[in-house]
Chains A and B, each alone.
Chain A
Amino acid sequence: MEFLLEPFAFEFFRNGTLAAVLAGALCGMVGVYIVLRGMSYIGHGLSHAIFGGAVVSFVLQWNFYLGAGLWGFLAALLINQTVRRTKIPADAAIGVITTASFAVGVALISRYRGFTRSFDAALFGNILGVTRQDVWIVAGVGVAAAAAIFFLYKQLLFTTFDPEVAQVYGVRTEWVDTAFALILASVLIVSMQILGVTLIAAALVTPAIIARLLTDSFNRMILLSTAIGGLTGFGGMYLSFYVDVASGATIVLLQASVFVVVLGVMALRNQAGKRLVAFDV
C-alpha cells in the first residue's frame, strides 16, 4: 500500500497530478465541440499560435497568461472571421494563421538565442515544475470554462450541430463562436505548461473521440469525455512516476491506448452483432 501511495509524498507530484487531472478534464470537455465541428486541427494550431504569443509576452515582459491568452484569443477570432467571410476552408485558415504566429515565436527565439532553453517547457510540457499557484490558475479557468459551457449549453449545441439554422432560430452564432474561442484559448494556455504545445492536440481530441465511440447522446458524450480526460490525466501522471517517462507523453499515450482498446472492443461487438443477425436469419 505504501508503495502505491509513495509518489503522493512529494508535493511536486501532488501539484502535478491535480493539474493534470484538471487540464485533462478541461481538454476533454471543450474537445467535444471541436471534434463535432470537424476542427480537430485547431487544438494543434492554436497551441502553436499561443507559443508565439508566449515568446512575445516574454520579450515584452508582459504577464504570460494575459499576453499569451490575448494572442491565442485573437488568433482564434481571426480564424473564425476568415472562415466566415472568405471562401477559405477552416483547415487552411488554421494552417496559415497559427503557423505564422508560431513562426513569430521561432523568429524571436532565433534572434535572441539567450533564452532558447526556457521554452522547452512550453513545447513539451513541464508538469513537475507546476506550483500550487499554477494549480489554482488551472482550477480557476476550469470553473470559469465549465460555467460558460453550462450557461451556453443550448446555444453551443445548436451552433455545433448546424450554425446556419441556429442563426435562423435566434442563436447569435457569431457571439457564441467568439465566446467559445475565448474558452478554448484559456483552456489551451493553462494546459500548455502541463502537456506542452506539441502534445495538447491529442489531449483535446482523443477523449472526445473515445466518448463518441461509446455514446450517441450529446449530453453523455460531454460527461464521458470530461471524465476520460481527467482519469487519463491521473493515470498518465501516476504511470509516468514508475516508468520514468515524461508525464505529458505518458498521458497522451495512455489516452491513445484507451482509444485503441475501445475501438477494438467496438469492432468485436459489431462482428458479434453481425454474427447474431446472421444466426437469426
Chain B
Amino acid sequence: MQPLVELSDVTFGYAGQPVLESIDLHLHEGQFAAVVGPSGAGKTSLLRLLLGTLQPSRGKISLHRNGRALQVSYVPQIESVDWNFPVTVEQVVLMGRVRRSGPWPWPSADERQRMAAVLDELGIGDLAKRHIRELSGGQQQRVFLARALIAEPDLLVLDEPTTGLDLRTAETILHLLAHLNQHGMTILLSSHDLNAVAAHLPWVICLNRRVIAEGPPEQIFTEENLNRTYRGDMLVVRQDGMLLVQQRPHPHTVHDILHDPVLGHLE
C-alpha cells in the first residue's frame, strides 16, 4: 500500500546546526503514531516539515493520497495560542473551513450544520458562543481539535496535545483521538509523556535528531532505545501487561545535596 506520508533521507538545520538528520519515515492510512524524544530532539521541526511550513535542506517529503495532495489539519500546542485574541469558539472552529468556504464573511447554512455536528461530537456543543479564554484546558484542546476536524483532513497532526493538561483531561483527549482513529482518521502527534503514549498508541517513533527506533511501544520501549533517545538512565518496568517508563531513581536523597535544609513549620 502506498503510504500517505513519505520522508526519504530528510535533513534539516538552522544556520548550519543540524536539527534533523537523514530521516526516513512512512505513515500509512489509518495509523495512529507518536513522535517522542527530549526537548530539542527535533519533534516540532519534524511536524513543521510535514506541514510544509519548513523546507528540508536535503531529502524528499511526499504527502499524497491516491495521486492528489494530502489535506493536513494541525492542532498547535495550547501554549502557542493567543488566548486574549477576541474570538469565540465558533469563530475559531469555522477557520478550519477557510479553504472550502464561499466568498462571504459569514458561514453558510451547511457550514453551521457541520460545525454544530463537530462540536457535539466533541462534547462542547454548548460552548459555541463563548470566548476561547473562558474555557478549561480540555475544552480549549477540543476547540482546536474541532477546527482540525471540520476541515475533513486526510491526516491529523497534533503538537503535544497532552502538555499543559491535568492527568484526567489528558487521558480523555487521548481516548478521543483513539476513537477518531478507530473511525479511520490517520493521526500523528508529538508527546513528552512516554507512559501515556505506551498506554494509548499502537506505534511510536523515538526521535533524537535521527530516528532511534520505530514500532509498537511494547517492542521498542526498551531501556537501550530510551537511553539512546533521552541520553539518560531510563527504567522500563513491565507489569500485568502494562508498560511503565521512568527515569531511573536518583542514587541520592535530598540530604546528600542539602546538608542542613530549612524546613517549614506545621502549626
**Interfacial residues, chain A to chain B (CB-CB below 8 A):** 36, 150-151, 153-155, 157-158, 160-162, 164-171, 212, 215-219, 221
Contact = CB atoms under 8 A, between A and B. Distances in A.
Contacts of B85: 36, 160-161, 218
17 contacts: A158-B95, A160-B85, A162-B82, A164-B53, A165-B76, A168-B53, A168-B74, A169-B73, A169-B98, A169-B151, A170-B99, A171-B98, A216-B86, A217-B86, A217-B87, A218-B88, A219-B91
B130 to A, nearest CB: 9
Interface string B140-155: 0000000000010000
Contacts, number: 70
A167 B53 contact: yes
Chain A interface mostly helix, strand, loop or mixed? helix
A157 B53 contact: no
A165 B74 contact: yes
B51 to A, nearest CB: 5
A216 B88 contact: yes
Contact of B86 (A153, A164, A168, A215): A215
Contact of B98 (A151, A170, A216): A170
Considering the complex of A and B, which 10 residue pairs feature the smallest CB-CB distances, nearest first?
A: A153-B105, A170-B99, A216-B131, A168-B74, A158-B95, A168-B51, A218-B86, A216-B86, A154-B98, A218-B87
B178 to A, nearest CB: 23
Nearest to A151: B103
Contacts of A219: 91, 105
Contact of B91 (A157, A165, A170, A171): A157
Contacts of A169: 73-74, 95-96, 98-99, 151
Given A165-B76, A219-B91, 18 more contacts: A36-B85, A151-B103, A153-B105, A154-B98, A154-B101, A158-B95, A158-B98, A162-B76, A162-B80, A167-B52, A168-B73, A169-B99, A169-B151, A170-B98, A216-B88, A217-B86, A218-B88, A221-B86
B72 interface: yes
A119 B87 CA distance: 42
A135 to B, nearest CB: 27
B122 interface: no
Contacts of A171: 98-99
B76 A150 contact: no
B242 interface: no
B237 interface: no
Contacts of B199: none
Contacts of B88: 216-218
B117 interface: no
Nearest to B133: A216
B135 interface: no
A168 B91 contact: no
Given A154-B101, A154-B105, A168-B72, A161 B82 contact: yes
Contacts of B94: 154
Contacts of B80: 162
Interface string B38-72: 00000000000001110000000000000000001
Contacts of A165: 74, 76
Contacts of B103: 151
Contacts of A218: 85-88, 91
Contacts of A168: 51-53, 72-74
Contacts of A154: 94-95, 98, 101, 105
Nearest to B101: A154
B190 to A, nearest CB: 15
B98 A155 contact: yes
Contacts of A166: 95, 98
A248 B85 CA distance: 30
